[in-house]
Amino acid sequence: MWLVHQASVRVHCASHYAPAHLASWFHDRGPDIYRPAIDAGHVWLAESAGHLLGFAAAAPGEVTLLFVNPVHAGRGVGQRLLAQAMTAASVGHDGPLAVTATLNSVAFYQRHGFVTVGDDAFVRGQDQLHYPLKRMLRASSANRR
C-alpha cells in the first residue's frame, strides 16, 4: 500500500502540486499510517495476479483514502474501489457522504456525484508546506431517490 500510495501521488498529483509538495508529501510518515484503518477492517484492496492495483478506506460517512497504482489507472479500478468505500461509509450513516479530495481528483469525484462544498488543506514537511484540498459531499442514496 505504501509504495502504491507514493507512486499514485507522484504521478497523479504532479499536475496540481509543485515538485516541492510532492517531495515532502510523505515527510515523517511511514507504512504504519494505514494501521488504524486496517485494524478496524475499513480498507479494501484491488489486486490482480498478486499485484496491488489500488486501495480505498472508509469510515462512517466518509471515504478516507482512494489511491490507484498509476500503471493501472483508467481501467475502472478507482471506480470500483470508490463504490466499495461508499457502500461501507453508508453503513449506519444516513447523511451525505464526504471526501477530502486532492485537487487532481476533484473531477473524478464529481463524475460520481460529489460536489465541492469548501476548501481544506494539510501542512507537511520541514518547510511546513500548505497542501490545498477540496471538501466534497455526495447525497446518500436514501436522499437521492
Residue 13 grid cell: 498529483
- The per-residue pLDDT for range 110-138, each reduced to its tens digit, is 999 999 999 999 988 777 899 999 999 99
Count the Cβ atoms, other than its own, within 10 Å of residue 97. 24
DSSP β-ladder status, 115-124 and 97-102: unpaired
Residue 32, C-beta contacts closer than 8 angstroms, at least 6 positions apart: none
- The per-residue pLDDT for range 102-116, each reduced to its tens digit, is 999 999 999 999 999
Residues recorded for the chain:
145
User: Taking the complete model, does pTM exceed 0.85, yes or no?
Assistant: yes
Name the β-bridge partners of 102: 133
Residue 42 grid cell: 475499513
Name the β-bridge partners of 118: 135
- Domains of the chain and CATH, by start: 2-138 (3.40.630.30)
